[in-house]
Amino acid sequence: MKHKYLYLSISVSGASVLAIEILGTRILGPFYGVSLFLWSALITVTLAALSAGYALGGRWADKGATYPRLSSLLTGAGVWLLAVPWIRNPLLHLAEPFGLRFAALIAALILFFVPLMLLGMVSPYAIKLRASSLEEIGRSAGNLYAVSTVASVVAALLTGFFLIPSFGVYRLTLAVGILLIATALPGFFGKRMPAAKLILPIVILAAGAGLIRGSHENEPDPERGLVFKGQSQYAEIRVVDYESSRYLLIDGGIHTAVDTSAFTETLIPYVNVVDIARNFFETPGRLLLVGLGGGSIAKHYERAGWAVDAVEIDPLVVTVAHEYFGLDSTDARVFLMDGRRFLIASRDTYDVVVMDAFGSSSIPFHLVTKEVFGLIASRLKPEGVLVINVQAIGWDDRIVRSLAATLKTQFPHVRALPTMEPPNKFGNVLLFAARRPLDLPEELPTPTYRFSGEYDRAHAWDNRFEPNTTGVKILSDERNPVDLWAEAINVADRKELHELFAEQGIRW
């Protein structure tokens, strides 16, 4: 029976380690963005904590291994996880002044180092309890580590594929904490430990408090403007109403903003600038939109008579676009798959392709290489136009120049249309690329109002320029540093977002 309990403990601890690591991206992602730096911070903290746990666990086991002490490790990790919903928000705001990279590392360290270290201590402790002689230490250690690793594999698959989308991040975090505590209790009571009667009510109170807090974390709060909050396989998705505007936030970054009085009226200038691509054609044609968001671009083109195909990898984004942003089933034919896979599988050709799948914290590197631009070129008609929306700090940001250089490997004509003013400000730049000259057959209408689509289009077109690509890196599948370049962009974007929604009391 004791050996069975050891295998149970090692399985639960191994599964919890991987679950915590994956949950960490969802707990911190909405605040920092799910970037290369966040993953690096979480992996660093996980490995450092486990290393410390292995060393400390072995030393503590040599001083006298007992089942109640093993259970105390599981209990400590579980109770810490129950506290995560309470300490997360204050910690995030305390760490913010350290900058994106170090703030993510500090937050990951404080939130997850202790429980991961305690779980790391479980393995050497269990080996000490399992081995009854020197002759069987190797076999005992091998069996226990094998069981722990198998449990980690199962937990990784279940957490990412099923549990997070089904139960939500905080409920699942609390469930892991409660599971650890429940696993620990037989170790206490099996030895008739006198403190068990005291530990049990404390654990019940902590679990209850954590569940109450966690349930609120997963609920919308319409009075403060949080209309919807959900977890998909890919991101945390929020719909926020602020004054007369509605925002779609994916992992804390704005992907759509519309006027709530008319969901067709976008509040993001770049969406209006994308409309310019229609002016290169005398009659409506076919649009391929990679990255649906709230559907603003799709609606603009459909209302102009275009046939729209939209590719969106996240089913929950599509649901939210329909339910909260007025996207109609007739506005676009939506394909649920990765954009590059669609380009490989489809044989359809389009007049305009719009790439709008790039957020501030996450620029999918496989969608910004010379190889994928070659795929897009093969899906464009001879007179077709490619439009790429990218966030940048200034018109001359290296990400703009590098994308332009990469586009020129496939398209002879490339122009950048900036939306921000002054030129060194954070904002969106639209890159237009084609095998035809990028000259409009007619001048754009003169705007009569500063805050209008006509102004956005005229401003971007009048300031169009050909990026300087001399000596600039061409992005390829083999070498692509866009994750690193996105850090400064992510910092600028998150700063604005946190300030905007802090006024409304919606902090995350």
Q: Is 157 left (phi over 0), alpha (psi -120 to 50) or beta?
A: alpha
Report if residue 109 sits inside a domain. yes
CA distances from 250 to 89, 173, 233, 255, 444 (A): 18, 20, 12, 7, 33
**Are the beta carbons of 367 and 400 closer than 8 angstroms?**
no
Report if residue 241 sits inside a domain. no
Report if residue 492 sits inside a domain. yes
- Residue-level pLDDT at 185: 85
**Are the beta carbons of 90 and 27 closer than 8 angstroms?**
no
29 and 155 inside one domain? yes
CA distances from 314 to 157, 250, 333, 336 (A): 18, 11, 15, 7
274 and 172 inside one domain? no
Q: Please tell me the number of Cα atoms within 13 Å of 188 on its side-chain side.
A: 18
276 and 384 inside one domain? yes
Report if residue 258 sits inside a domain. no
Residue written as token pair 């975090």: 173
Split into its structural domains, the chain has a count of 2
CATH of the domain at 287: 3.40.50.150
Q: From first to last of its 508 residues, what are the pLDDT tens digits of the chain?
A: 567 888 899 999 999 999 999 999 989 988 887 777 888 999 999 999 999 999 999 898 888 888 888 999 999 999 999 999 889 888 988 887 787 778 889 999 999 999 999 999 999 888 888 775 445 677 777 888 888 889 999 999 999 888 888 888 888 999 999 999 989 988 876 655 455 555 555 555 555 555 555 555 557 778 888 999 998 888 889 999 988 899 999 988 889 999 988 777 899 999 999 999 999 999 999 999 999 999 999 999 999 999 999 999 999 999 999 999 999 999 999 999 999 999 999 999 999 999 998 765 667 888 999 999 999 999 999 999 999 999 999 999 999 999 999 999 999 999 999 999 999 999 999 999 999 999 999 999 999 898 899 999 999 999 999 999 999 999 999 988 887 777 778 878 877 777 777 666 555 5
- Residue-level pLDDT at 133: 47
284 and 178 inside one domain? no
Cα–Cα distance for residue pair 80/342, rounded to 1 Å: 43
198 and 287 inside one domain? no
276 and 185 inside one domain? no
50 and 127 inside one domain? yes
Report if residue 506 sits inside a domain. no
Burial of 441 (0-12, 13-18, 19+ CB in 10 A): exposed
CATH of the domain at 118: 1.20.1250
**Are the beta carbons of 233 and 164 closer than 8 angstroms?**
yes
Report if residue 14 sits inside a domain. yes
426 and 350 inside one domain? yes
366 and 479 inside one domain? yes
491 and 354 inside one domain? yes
Report if residue 46 sits inside a domain. yes
**Are the beta carbons of 428 and 269 closer than 8 angstroms?**
yes
Q: What are 168's two structure tokens?
A: 């939500």
Cβ contacts of 99 within 8 Å, gap of 6 or more: 491
202 and 269 inside one domain? no
Report if residue 493 sits inside a domain. yes
Domain boundary, last residue among 217, 245, 272: 217
Helix spans in 196-285 (H):
196-217, 269-274
210 and 278 inside one domain? no
Domain boundary, last residue among 201, 217, 233: 217
- Full residue range of the structural domain in which residue 282 is found: 264-500
- Residue-level pLDDT at 130: 76
Domain boundary, last residue among 192, 217, 242: 217
